[in-house]
């Protein structure tokens, strides 16, 4: 039997941009429950420490988007942490969740990031991309959060979460995606105007815009 068809474990994180939008978090959990041959064996709703996020995303440290990624994961609504087990589950979840960037994911029929992501890397959900990454991520999160690997316990906790939020609030993803597109377009227009007034490079201008947005949001 090939490695792809052996029992595997994968980490799934439902990110704050999906947890905040209550029905979206529920919809994602429902979709994961339907993955053939897969079982959720750990589930936890939790806040995540800066140290754990840095360790998880260590390969991205130093990239221009890293500070934004850290800020997103620190939003105080928290994350949903799942360990999913099954034959070939790493690939199955990767296909279900789809490409990293929402604009690409929208072109992949049925994938969760296309359906529920907002824009760019604000994509609602993370899953392990390879078997090696899955082993590392599952080990990191299970040890850091002291997760119990038990299907019955996990299923009960996840079903309770779904019951708490299902049907209480709407799914307005399409409207949110359109608003996000307008925001991104406005940012590009702002950058173009600022560049007419400066000799600084694009990255410096982007840093100013990030600081402006942060200041204006309070």
Rg (CA), the chain: 19
Using an 8 Å Cβ cutoff, are 23 and 171 in contact? yes
Question: Which candidate, 128, 98, 126, places its Cα nearest to that of 114?
Answer: 98
Distance (Å, whole) CA 17 – CA 1: 39
Nearest one of 127, 123, 162 to 45, comparing CA atoms: 162
Query: Please, which residues have CB within 8 angstroms of residue 210's CB and are 6 or more apart in sequence?
Result: 68
Q: Is residue 126 among the annotated active site residues?
A: yes
**Other CB atoms closer than 10 Å to residue 27's CB: what's the count?**
20
Which one is catalytic: 56, 107, 126, 214?
A: 126
> With the CA atoms of 48, 216, 203 and 18 taken in that order, what torsion angle do they form, in degrees rounded to the nearest 10?
30
Which amino acids are annotated catalytic? 126
């Amino acid at each position: 039997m090939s490695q792809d068809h052996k029992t595997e474990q994968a980490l799934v994180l439902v990110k704050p941009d999906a947890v905040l939008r209550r029905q979206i978090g529920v919809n994602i959990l429902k979709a994961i429950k339907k993955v053939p041959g897969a079982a959720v064996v750990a589930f936890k709703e939790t806040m995540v420490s800066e140290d754990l996020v840095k360790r998880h995303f260590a390969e991205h440290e130093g990239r221009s988007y890293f500070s934004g990624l850290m800020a997103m994961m620190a939003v105080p609504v928290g994350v949903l942490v799942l360990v999913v087990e099954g034959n070939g589950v790493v690939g199955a979840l990767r296909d279900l969740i789809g490409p990293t960037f929402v604009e690409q994911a929208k072109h992949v029929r049925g994938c969760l990031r296309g359906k529920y992501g907002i824009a760019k890397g604000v994509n609602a959900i993370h899953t392990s991309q390879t078997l090696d990454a899955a082993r590392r991520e599952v080990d990191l999160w299970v040890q850091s959060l002291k997760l119990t690997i038990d299907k019955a316990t996990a299923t009960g906790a996840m079903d309770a979460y779904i019951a708490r939020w299902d049907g209480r609030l709407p799914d307005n993803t399409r409207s949110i995606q359109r608003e996000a597109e307008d925001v991104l377009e406005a940012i590009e227009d702002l950058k173009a105007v600022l560049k007419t007034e400066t000799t600084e490079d694009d990255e410096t201008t982007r840093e100013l815009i990030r600081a402006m947005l942060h200041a204006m949001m309070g």
